[in-house]
Every structure is written in structure tokens, then in C-alpha cells.
Chains A and B, each alone.
Chain A
Amino acid sequence: MTPAGWFHLERLPTAAATLFFGALIVVFVLLARRGRPLYIRRIAGLEAVDEAVGRATEMGRPILYSAGLDPLEEVATVASINILGQVARRAGEYETRLIMPNRDPIVMTVAQEVVREAYAAVGRPDLYDPHDIYYTTQSQFGYAAAVCGTMMRERPATNFFIGHFYAESLVLAETGNATGAIQIAGTDSDSQLPFFICACDYTLIGEELYAGSVYLSREPLLLGALKGQDLAKAILLALLAAGTLLAFLGVDVRPWLGR
């Protein structure tokens, strides 16, 4: 069988880049396992999580968490669920109620499990109420209406909008702003980022969403993976800078790449 019979040869660069990227992550994870200290920059939105949960505790009001509209197979939703685990641990420690309306029943089921386990991990399984993590509707604006209604009735002191959002992002964030809640948003949707930046107190921009659970957990192995990601980005930026410079100098690199 020829290579083309079992491999999409045109996808070879993608495969090579994925393998290289994966290898970088594994190398940094191994370094972290050996105890090498790893520095990661401060992310204001994630630093504010404790303050936000603490504020809800002081005010005796709940925390609202939305994981966005996408199903669980989207990486942004998985990243959001990972952050939810960390937020729920803090909510459990502070004995603060966590409300989470869901648009996707699979996300709801996983979120219930993650929150239940997070409460149990901090020794407060009694605080978990499955009715606080509930399904609303599949409809985009139906979901927005349900979340806004919850914000107006329950008056949460803190709102988290973490995940992938669409046109409803501003409806949610502005309603939360009107209720006076401290708001932390995070999304990988570049078209919704400006809305969150305008209407929320802190916004996790793009990749910060994916770094969220690592940053909050400070798990050494995960920090290693994050450093690998940073190095990959540095390499990519260097390649972009080199390509830009060559383009300025009028050097055509396409023949070198066989194109």
C-alpha cells in the first residue's frame, strides 16, 4: 500500500506540527515532575476568582456559572468544566451556593458530577444540591432568557461566563452588570470578546481560558504542559517574525517549501 493509501500526505505538516507540539508538552511535564520550578505570568481574571467567590460569601448570595452554548465535545466547554471544578472547590470551602443553568444535557450531567466531587473533595458533600445545576433549553435565546431571569430573581453576587458564546453574550453580561454582580468572563470566540470586555470586570482572552484550570489548581504537571504551550507559541511567533522579515526583503520562500 502506498503512503497515500493510508495517510493524507497533504496533512503531513499538520501531523508533524501536532507531534512536535505534543512532544514539547511531554518534555515540560517531565521537567515539572522532576521538580523544576516553572513561572507563569499573572492572569488578573483568574486571580480575581477568590475575591469573587469571597464577595458572594460576604453578601450571602449565590454564584452563577454559565459554561456557554457549545456541547462537551468542544474544547472550550471542556476547559470551562475544568475551571468549574476549581470554582466549585472554592464555593465549597466558603460554603457558598453555586447555580449553573445549562443548555446541553451532557454538559449538565458532567457539571453535576464535577461539582459534587469538588464539594466532596473539600469535605462538604452536604452542600451539593443537584437542582442547582439544571437544564434549561436548547434554544439559544431561550437559554439567554433563562439565565437572565435567574440573575434577576436570585441576584447572584458573582457571575462566571466561561466557555464559547454567541450573540447572547452581551445580553447575559449586560443583565449581570445591571444586577451589580462582579463578573468574570472567558471565551475563545473573538467576535464576542469585545462585548465581554465592555460589560464584565475581568475577561479571560482566548488562550487564558485554556490556562484557567491549570492556573487555579497550580498542579505542577499541568503547569509543565502550560509552559510547553508557551514555548510553542514563542516558536510560532519567531517563525512569523522571520516570515514577515523575509517578505519585507522580497525573498520568496515558497520554492523552499515545494510550493
Chain B
Amino acid sequence: MKRTGPVLLGFVIGMLMLVQHFTPDRWIAERYNNILDWKQVVFGLTLILGVVSLFLYHWRRIARREEGWRYSLLTVGGLAFMIGAAILFTPSRGPYPWMFEHVQAPMQSTLFALLAFYVASASYRAFRARNLHAALLLSAGVIVMLGRVPLGEAIGLNHISTWILDYPNLAAKRGVMIGVGLGMTATAIKIILGIERTYLGRGA
């Protein structure tokens, strides 16, 4: 039963989710919405588990004085401060939105901005013409980049750039997407039919 129960539940719920896509039946639509509501409830409960996990992880680092434990102290302090601020002042006013707008959002933007440097370093490695494939990649990259700026447009590279993006590039992307679509469907079918059970753990 320990093995059959979850597989059977997966089959029933999976089939319901599959069937609801093909039928306008109101009863099935209501069950579908019930499942989505339950998902929110489960998410809310697991979020508590998540916060507990985060706290315990950092608390242990602080208690053991592991390398970088001061960062853990900052994390636990920040967590406690934000929870306290939301309870005392509500999440829509006071220190909670201020911290969000003036601390968290700028930090996220900073990390996003770092992406430009990472693109440069990754491109440097990828675009070294070590063999024919890398040389082709380098040529295509240069043409596409130049074709997107006024200089490239002036020398007519914009048409070649558009052609590269619309034909070889799009063909490769569509090839990947077809494989992904089939892979997704196959995985879903395997789970619904109980063929794939790795996610259930040992003995599944």
C-alpha cells in the first residue's frame, strides 16, 4: 500500500488534470480549481517548513562558528527584523516596504547588472576560434552583434544578421523545443502511468 497508494493517487490526479484540458465539464473544472486551491494551502504550509529550514541551517552555522557565520547572523537578524516589522507595522507601511524598496530591490538589481560582466567573460571563452565550430560561432556572433548596431546596418550586415536569427538559429531552437515538448509529455505520461517512480524514493 505504501507503494501503490502514491502511484494510484498520482494516476487519479494526473488523469483529472489531463482530462480537464479536453472537457468543458463544470464538475471537472471545479475539481481542477479545488486542486489548485489545495496547492496554495500546501505551499503555505511548506513555506513554514522552508523558513524553519533556513533558520536552522543558519543557526547551526552560528552555533558552530563555521566560516562566514557572521553572514548567517545577518540572515537570521534580517529574517527576524522583517517578520517583526510586518507584524508590528503591517507589510504595506513602515520599515517592511522601506527595507524591500531600499535594500532588497537594489541588491537584486545589482546582481542582475553583474550579468553583463558574466556575459563578457563567458563570451570570451566561447568565442575563441579554437576549431571550425568555434570559428563559425564567433563569425555568427560578430555578424549578429554588428547587425544590431547602426554601423552594421550601414554596411548591410543587418540583413545577414536577421537571416541568421530567422533561419539557422530558429531552426535549432525549434528542434530543441520539439524535443522538450516530447520529453515533457513523455515524463508526464510516465508519472501518470506509474512507470517513473524515482521521485517517490526508495522501493518505488
Chain B 149-174 per-residue mask, 1 if CB under 8 angstroms from chain A, else 0: 00000000000000000000000010
Cross-chain contact A6 with B25 (CB below 8 angstroms): yes
Point out the residue from B53, B180, B185 that lies within 8 Å of A188, measured CB to CB.
B180
Point out the residue from B25, B54, B122, B191 that lies within 8 Å of A199, measured CB to CB.
B122
Asked whether B146 is an interface residue with its Cβ less than 8 Å from the other chain, the reply is no
Cross-chain contact B184 with A8 (CB below 8 angstroms): no
Cross-chain contact A8 with B22 (CB below 8 angstroms): yes
Asked whether A27 is an interface residue with its Cβ less than 8 Å from the other chain, the reply is no
| Neighbouring B residues of A73 by C-beta, 8 Å | 39
Point out the residue from B49, B184, B198 that lies within 8 Å of A108, measured CB to CB.
B49
Q: How far is the CB of B168 from chain A (nearest CB, A)?
A: 14
| Neighbouring B residues of A236 by C-beta, 8 Å | 178, 182
Asked whether A180 is an interface residue with its Cβ less than 8 Å from the other chain, the reply is no
Interface residues of A in 161-202 (CB under 8 A from B): 167-168, 170-171, 173-174, 188, 190, 193, 195, 197-199
Q: How far is the CB of B125 from chain A (nearest CB, A)?
A: 6
Q: How far is the CB of B13 from chain A (nearest CB, A)?
A: 11
Give the CA-CA distance A181 to B193 in the complex, in Å: 38
Cross-chain contact A21 with B185 (CB below 8 angstroms): yes
Cross-chain contact B23 with A7 (CB below 8 angstroms): yes
Chain A 91-116 per-residue mask, 1 if CB under 8 angstroms from chain B, else 0: 00000000000100110111001101
User: Which of B115, B196, B198 has most chain A Cβ within 10 Å?
Assistant: B198
Chain B 104-127 per-residue mask, 1 if CB under 8 angstroms from chain A, else 0: 100110011011001101110110
Q: How far is the CB of A38 from chain B (nearest CB, A)?
A: 14
Chain B 166-204 per-residue mask, 1 if CB under 8 angstroms from chain A, else 0: 000000010011111011111111110101101101110
Q: Known contacts A8-B22, A108-B49; is A195 also within 8 Å of B122 by CB? A: yes
Interface residues of B in 62-109 (CB under 8 A from A): 67-68, 71, 104, 107-108
| Neighbouring A residues of B42 by C-beta, 8 Å | 106
Q: How far is the CB of A139 from chain B (nearest CB, A)?
A: 6
Cross-chain contact B121 with A174 (CB below 8 angstroms): yes
Cross-chain contact B178 with A15 (CB below 8 angstroms): no
Give the CA-CA distance A191 to B115 in the complex, in Å: 14
Give the CA-CA distance A120 to B204 in the complex, in Å: 13
Asked whether A131 is an interface residue with its Cβ less than 8 Å from the other chain, the reply is yes
Cross-chain contact A117 with B182 (CB below 8 angstroms): no
Give the CA-CA distance A106 to B42 in the complex, in Å: 8
| Neighbouring B residues of A86 by C-beta, 8 Å | 198
Q: How far is the CB of A191 from chain B (nearest CB, A)?
A: 9
Asked whether B5 is an interface residue with its Cβ less than 8 Å from the other chain, the reply is no
Cross-chain contact A222 with B195 (CB below 8 angstroms): yes
Surface stretch bound by B, among A45-53, A55-63, A208-216: A208-216
Give the CA-CA distance A149 to B23 in the complex, in Å: 48
User: Which of A21, A79, A149, A210 has most chain B Cβ within 10 Å?
Assistant: A210
| Neighbouring A residues of B51 by C-beta, 8 Å | 135
A-B contact pairs, 8 of them (CB 8 A): A8-B21, A18-B185, A81-B199, A105-B43, A117-B201, A170-B119, A174-B118, A232-B186
B contacts, CB < 8 Å to A: 18, 21-25, 39, 42-43, 46-51, 53-54, 56-57, 60, 67-68, 71, 104, 107-108, 111-112, 114-115, 118-119, 121-123, 125-126, 173, 176-180, 182-191, 193, 195-196, 198-199, 201-203
A contacts, CB < 8 Å to B: 5-8, 11, 14-15, 18, 21-22, 25-26, 29, 71, 73, 75-76, 78-79, 81-82, 85-86, 102, 105-106, 108-110, 113-114, 116-118, 120-121, 130-131, 134-137, 139-142, 144-145, 149, 153, 167-168, 170-171, 173-174, 188, 190, 193, 195, 197-199, 205-207, 209-211, 213, 217, 221-222, 225-226, 228-229, 232-233, 236
Q: What 8 new A-B contacts, CB under 8 Å, besides A78-B187, A139-B104?
A: A71-B43, A105-B49, A118-B202, A171-B118, A173-B122, A205-B179, A209-B183, A228-B186
Instruction: Rank and list the top 9 A-B pairs by shortest CB-CB distance, nearest first.
Output: A117-B201, A105-B50, A210-B183, A207-B179, A135-B50, A117-B202, A207-B183, A105-B46, A198-B126
